[in-house]
Structures are given as C-alpha cells and as structure tokens.
Structure 1
C-alpha cells in the first residue's frame, strides 16, 4: 500500500514537472521563432541601471508604445512572450526588469536562484525606486523615434497594482491596464489620476476583488474613468495560466476574452 502511494505521488510530481517544462519550452520556442526585432536595453535611472526587454512590431508607421510590468516573479519568459504578442499586434512593448541593479550579487531577475527568491526581493523594493524605473521607461518610449508618442502601461499581479499606482504618478499615460492588481490604498491618491484605468479580474480571486469596490468609489469621487470586467471562474494570474494549453477552460476563456478587450482598448 505504501509503495503504491509513493508511486502515485511520484507520478503526480512527474506530470506537474512535465507540464511546467512543456509550458516553458512553448514560451521559449515562441520567442525564438518570432520574426520581430527583440533587444535588451539599459536605461539610466539615477544611480541605478534599468535593464529592459523591447520588442518592435513589423509596421511601416510610428507605433503606440506599452510598458509591460511583470508579476511578482520578476521578468520571466512569459512576460517577454506577452511583450512579443503585443508587438505582433502593432505595438512597441517594453518590459522593464524591476529587479535590475537589486544588489551587487543580483543585477536582474535571472540572477536569483529561485522564483521565491525573486518574489521576496520584489516585495523589498521601495515604491520610489519602482516609480523611478517606470518614469525612465516612460521617457525612453516617449522619445523613441519609432514610437508615436503615446505610452500606455499594463501590469499583472504585483505589476497590476503598480500599473494602477503609476497612474497616480504620471498624468501623461494614455491608459493604465490593471490585471488582477489592487488599487492605491489611500483614497486621496486617486485625485491625481488623469488616464483611464481598465481592470481585468478573475472571478475566483476574492483577495483582489474585495478591493474593487473601494477603488470604484474613489475613482467615481474624482470623476475618473474606471472600467473593469470580472471573468467568471478564472483564478488569479489567469493570463499566464490561460496561455498554457493545459490550463483550465475558465482561465483559457478569460485569457482570450481579456486579450481581445486589451487590444480593443489599446487601438482606440
């Protein structure tokens, strides 16, 4: 009986590992097979150097630009793949690595031994540094010759919260798109928002969804645009989970519907 249980456990671990590696291979292959121009850039940010991944669309005219803020795992292949997908739709996408220049030992996400280490580091970042990195990302895109001067921001999870918060710091954003992130805690901060904010939330993500009403009330108080959708049955991080063919039906459906909505908003 004990051997049978051990065998079942090992089989379960093997399946999880295989599915994870399959998803990673899919992302790597997507990036490697992309025909769009990818490049890593270094952007000066005070006494720090911000590393960022940039993807250019194959278009004949100047393009709208988008800052892509990663999850609390740091700048992963999935985030870079998402940037490439945005470029496929005609946008210049820049994904800054918020763990850039973190310490002498860790200068970027890939330097951290595990995703847990990266996550712990993310939550030790000062909000002023995050704002500095986003301001310098914004300025880089604003002055990019191939860009049309419009800069939107989109973020996921921790990055979604940063996208909402950055809207309170930068009145010149064209849009702020928030994927399963929370809004600013202080109602007065919403007074500084000029850009429309669009929210995307999974129905099975009450930790985040419990904060939506307060954000809605604050946005209404200051007559700001806050348009959001809640996707029934989807969990937290459904954009990443739904990008996996082995993901749940609800997450895949939410991912596809959110993607279509995102592109419609950016194309306005």
Structure 2
C-alpha cells in the first residue's frame, strides 16, 4: 500500500510522492523509483509496492507535479516542457529525504523506467553518494564520456528492439563506466521497450520482466541491504 507524502526542498519548494514501507519495523536500504513519461500513475505505484515487499523503503517522487498522461500523445506533450536538470535536482532531494527517514539504513539507490531510466543514469552521474543505480530502458541526453566519472555501481536493463533506448548506446555507456574504474552490469533482453509495464499487454514481456526483476533485487540487496 502506498502512502502520499510531501516534503520540502532546500529551495523552499515541495515534492509530493508515493511512499511504500517494507514489512516489519527494522531499518533497510531505500530506493527512489523514478516514473515513466506518463507520470506517477498506478503502474508506478505497483512497482513501488513490489520493491517494498522485497524489503526496501521505496518512494516515487512526482516529477510532473500532479500531471498524469492518459496515453503516449499526452506523455509526449509533457516531455516537451519537462526540465531534466530540475528533475535531477528533485531526485537528489528525494534521496536526502529517504536517507533521513527513520527506517533507512543510510544507503539509497535510484531506479527508473523509460524517462525514469534516463534520469536514473543522470542521477548516477550528478548526485554524489548514491549507493547504486538501476536504469530500465532509458538513456540520458549528455555524452557518454561523462560516465567515466560515475562511481555508483549500475545494473542496466535494456530491450533488444527499442527505438527510444538503443542498447548499443547502453553498451557504450558501460564501456565508459568501466574505463573510469566504475562498475556496470548490463542486460539486454529479447523484448521491446517498456517490457516491465505489467498493466500494458502490448508491452509486457513476462519472462524478461521476471528475470530483470530478480536481477534487480539481487543487485540491490548486495548494495543497499
């Protein structure tokens, strides 16, 4: 079950989001879950709840601030006015919020899907002290050379057939991360874009989705506990 939360930013603004706590009362690793280009919709809340059931403190920040797209056309319009730099800053604020949460063990990772996958990689580049990053089929808009500076371990999941997030670009990012001494595991699935979207039968590929999920949970358990 998700709980609506609102927290303040350093600049004096506010961010709303959906928070899911894991079973029990102990401390655990925390996870920022970054939504797709449709916004903070039901499928993103389902992802958040599933991460919580796997043992993580999970929060989806609403980077569209109340706007949710009903379809891809509406999503494209939202993306046309979207401020990527501001969004990375808001992800950083969410990381700080989770790190201060009484159920967080101090280690915070970021994961995201589609637009959220791109922002996850941007977060790995620009937000210091991330414990880990798990992008799903998303690529940022800056040169791959910048990934030589990334130190947070990355576990990337990409589709073999994807016009929006070409897996060859993800492979180039992996080479840059490793050239800089960082760690990046990269998995490419026989699926299409958005294969984790369980509410969309035209996109969902259950075999790939389940394998990617298990790899993600194993990776997060190693890096954030």
Q: Same fold (TM over 0.5)?
A: yes
Indicate whether 1:161 and 2:126 are aligned.
no
| Preserved contact between residue 171 and residue 193 of structure 1 (Cα < 8 Å) | no
Give the stretch that moved more between structures: 204-213 or 174-183: 204-213
Secondary structure of the 1:168 match is helix
Instruction: Tell me the residue number matched to 1:265.
Output: 219
Structure 2 residue 91 is matched with structure 1 residue 134: yes
- Aligned pairs for 1:103-252 within 5 A: 108-110=66-68, 116-183=73-140, 185-208=142-165, 209-232=167-190, 234-240=191-197, 243-244=198-199, 246=201, 251-252=205-206
Q: How many residues align?
A: 220
CA deviations 1:56-80 (Å, max 9, x no partner) are 1112310111000001111110001
- Cα deviation digits, residues 206-236 of structure 1 (max 9, x gap): 542131232123212212111111111x110
Instruction: Tell me the secondary structure at the aligned position of residue 43 of structure 1.
Output: strand
Q: CA deviation at 1:115?
A: 5.6
Instruction: Select the structure that is richer in helix.
Output: 1
Aligned twin of 1:21: none
**Conserved? CA contact 1:74–1:122, under 8 Å:** no
Q: Deviation digits for residues 69-98 of structure 1, max 9, x if unmatched?
A: 001111110001110011111111100010
How far residue 171 of structure 1 moved from its aligned partner, in angstroms, is 2.6
Distance 1:119 1:59 in 2: 40
Unaligned runs of 5+ residues in structure 2 are none
Task: Give secondary structure in 2 for the equivalent of 1:163.
Answer: helix
How far residue 191 of structure 1 moved from its aligned partner, in angstroms, is 3.4
1:33 is aligned to: none
Q: What SS does the aligned partner of 1:238 have?
A: coil
Which residue is equivalent to 2:54?
Answer: 89
Q: Structure 1 stretches of 5 or more lacking a match?
A: 1-35, 101-107
SS in 2 for 1:239: coil
Post-superposition offset of 1:131 = 1.8
Which of the pair has the greater relative contact order for Cα pairs under 8 Å at 6+ separation?
Answer: 2
> Structure 2 vs 1, CA of residues 123 and 167 (structure 1 numbering), >3 Å: closer, same or farther?
farther
Aligned equivalent of 2:32: 67
CA RMSD in angstroms comes to 2.1
| Maintained 8 Å contact 1:99/1:122 | no
Closer, same or farther in 2 for the Cα pair 1:50/1:164, shift >3 Å?
Answer: same
Report if aligned partners of 1:183, 1:215 keep a CA contact under 8 Å in 2: no
Q: Which residue of 1 aligns with 2:7?
A: 43
8 Å CA contact 1:154, 1:177 repeated in 2: yes
CA distance in 2, matches of 1:206, 1:229: 17
CA distance in 2: counterparts of 1:72 and 1:266, whole angstroms: 24
Question: Structure 1 residues 60, 51: closer, same or farther in 2, change over 3 A?
Answer: closer
